[in-house]
Every structure is written in C-alpha cells, then in structure tokens.
Amino acid sequence: MPSWKALLVSAAFAGEAFAQEFPVPDLSGDVVCDGTIRPDYNECREELLPQTFDGVTVGPGFMEGPSFKGDDCQIRILKCGQGTAGEFPVDNVASYFGIAENECGEFSAGAVYRWGDACIYVDTPDNSFGPNSKRSEPEREKKQARRDLVNEAREPEDRQCNPPPGPCYTYTEQTFITGVRGFAERVCDNILPDGAKCDQTKSVTVTETFSFDGEVTAGLKDVVSVGASFSSSVAEAVTETITTSIQVDCPNGGYIVYYPLMEVSRGECGVGPQETCNGDCITDSTEPCEYRKPIESGDGNLSGEYDIQCV
C-alpha cells in the first residue's frame, strides 16, 4: 500500500477560501460537506470523540462551545441557532458525529451537522469551517429559483393537457460536496527519487460523470442539473496543462500527482412513464444517482491540487 504525504499545493485556489464560504446549516438535520477540508476521521473517532462521552455544554453565545483538537482532526460542538437562550447541555455527541461521518467521510471531507440549535463541526486545526460566514443566498433558494423557471415553461394552460410523450424524471438531492478530489493524474509517469522534481508538462482533460443504475438520458441529466446545488463554476469538461516545481519528499521515492477538484451532487433519481398535465412526474421507481462536475478556476482553467504519493 502506498502512503500519502499531502502538500495540498493548489493549482487554482486554496482550500481555506472554500471553507470560509461554508454556512451554518439552516435547518435541523442538515449536513454540509467540504472536500477541501480533509480531517482524519479515524483520529477523531478514536482519540477525540471519547472526550465527549460524558456530554458537553454549548453556548452561552452564538458559535460558542468546546473544541477538541488532534494533529489532523478537530471536533467542535457549537451553539449555532438562536432559539435557545444561554448555555445548554448536549449528550450523545457520538451519534451526531456518526451522521456527519456517514454523509461526508466517504469523501474524506469536512462536515457540519446541525440538530436543533447545536452543530458539530468536523474539520482540521489548520483548515476550519468559517462558522460566522453565510452564503449570500441559501442553496435551497437557488435550487427553488431554478425549479420555478422550469415550471414557468410548463404552465398547464400552455400544455392544454397535452404533456410531451416519453418518460419523465425527478431528482431529490441528499448530499452536495464541493472541492472533492477526482482521479489522480501523474505529472511524471515514473517514480522519482527523494528530493527530485518533475520537469514534464502534460495536458489533461477532465469531464463530468453521471452514475445511475438505469438508462442515462439527456432528460434525466437536465432534471438533476436543475435540482442539484452546482455553482456557476462547474463545466461539462475542462482542460488544464499540469506542471509543478514541488519536490518529492519520500525516503524511497514517489510520484508527483495532480488532483482535479469536483463538485458532487448525490441523491435519488426517479423515472415515470409521462408527465401529468401540471408538469408533475409520478415515478414508477427511484434509484441512487450521482453527478460529478469539474470546477473551473476564475481564468477558465481546471481547478486542482498537486500532491505526492510515496512508495
């Protein structure tokens, strides 16, 4: 098994910038993930979480509460709502940590889970969520605005109860993550010795991927695009010329690799025989589906990070 030494040298943006844009979850039960924050969940679970077994107290002020720090993971339990005055106790932190890990841990992504007026933050000491910052417009409002535009084009009076033939589709987003690493691209194909640099330049193109246990059609992808929380920075395909001056820092040598960064929307896709007159879709079945799109940087190139894979 190769070991990994993360340098996190960003080709387009720093993970901290993404982290500072992440909001406090708006509703109890909401989870948000950030792929540019990569905590060690094992360290959190085995070394930090036991410190919460006797319960904790959050508050009294907004975004105040205890913090538990390790080398590569940090757990914070904070008062993130305004409905409860002063301090209040929080028990069973382990269950809330488990929910956060189930949603975001697969991607090794930082997580925030909210229940009531308390939130658990799972991040790292040197790359933390920015708890006092909010998106200018909640993602659910953006998604609803896109749905409203689609529905306006499907007014019943324009249809005269004559919906288009063929199948209809639905999408319910369950998890959205930004800054997820895609498949690694080796900058140099060969193993480099300790202290060496890769003097090659390579052009890579990263395309979107859509996974669904059924027939993938343009109509289904369109419905998912409308229902997903994708930002305006994603694209169907992005090309980047990768080159870096970082050095291998591995006693036995290693590879210098490049990770494109992606936005991922995961949820349930439904398929029905035909739309109703009012534009609804009564589905026959639903299946898990996932849509990944590469992120463009401000100059139109692919956003990504360089890293080292030791052997």
pLDDT of residue 165: 80
pLDDT digits (tens, 9 = 90+) for 245-278: 999 999 999 999 999 999 999 999 999 998 888 8
Residue reference for tokens 């925030």: 112
Judge whether 73 and 43 are in contact, CB under 8 Å.
Answer: yes
Tell me the CA end-to-end span of the chain in Å, nearest whole number.
8
In whole angstroms, what is the distance from residue 225 CA to residue 249 CA?
41
Both tokens of residue 207?
């395309």
pLDDT digits (tens, 9 = 90+) for 217-248: 889 999 999 999 999 999 999 989 999 999 99
Judge whether 259 and 307 are in contact, CB under 8 Å.
Answer: yes
Of 258, 179, 231, 181, the closest CA to residue 16 belongs to: 179
Mean pLDDT of 27-52: 93
In whole angstroms, what is the distance from residue 80 CA to residue 134 CA?
12
Mean pLDDT of 206-218: 90
Mean pLDDT of 123-149: 58
Tell whether the model's pLDDT for residue 131 goes beyond 60: no
Judge whether 107 and 100 are in contact, CB under 8 Å.
Answer: no
- What's the number of CA atoms in the CB half-sphere (13 Å) around residue 125? 10
- What's the number of CA atoms in the CB half-sphere (13 Å) around residue 156? 6
Q: Picking from 56-70, 118-132, 165-179, which range would have the lowest pLDDT averaged per residue? A: 118-132
Mean pLDDT of 201-219: 91
Q: β-strands 168-181, 31-34: how paired?
A: parallel
Q: Is 302 helix (H, G, I), strand (E, B) or coil?
A: strand
Q: Picking from 22-36, 214-228, 245-259, 284-298, which range would have the lowest pLDDT averaged per residue? A: 22-36
DSSP designation for 86:
S
pLDDT digits (tens, 9 = 90+) for 77-121: 999 998 999 999 999 999 999 999 999 999 999 999 999 999 999
pLDDT of residue 209: 95
pLDDT of residue 136: 31
pLDDT digits (tens, 9 = 90+) for 152-200: 544 444 446 777 788 999 999 988 999 999 999 999 999 999 999 999 9
Tell whether the model's pLDDT for residue 68 goes beyond 80: yes
Residues 6+ apart with CB under 8 A from 141: none
Tell whether the model's pLDDT for residue 38 goes beyond 80: yes
Other beta carbons less than 10 A from residue 112's beta carbon:
27
pLDDT of residue 18: 36
In whole angstroms, what is the distance from residue 308 CA to residue 278 CA?
54
- For residues 219-252, one letter each, b for 16 or more C-beta atoms within 10 angstroms of the residue's C-beta and e for the rest, the string is ebbebbbebbbbeebbbeebebebebeeebebee
Q: Is 71 helix (H, G, I), strand (E, B) or coil?
A: coil
Of 243, 240, 256, the closest CA to residue 303 belongs to: 240
**pTM of the predicted model over 0.75:** no
List % helix, strand, coil for the chain (3-state, nearest 5): 20, 40, 40
pLDDT of residue 7: 37
pLDDT of residue 146: 54
Mean pLDDT of 293-301: 86
Mean pLDDT of 25-49: 92
pLDDT of residue 228: 94
pLDDT of residue 15: 35
User: Residue 54: is it exposed, middle or buried by C-beta count within 10 angstroms (0-12/13-18/19+)?
Assistant: exposed
pLDDT of residue 149: 52
In whole angstroms, what is the distance from residue 107 CA to residue 72 CA?
16
Band the pLDDT of 145: cuts 50, 70, 90. Answer: low
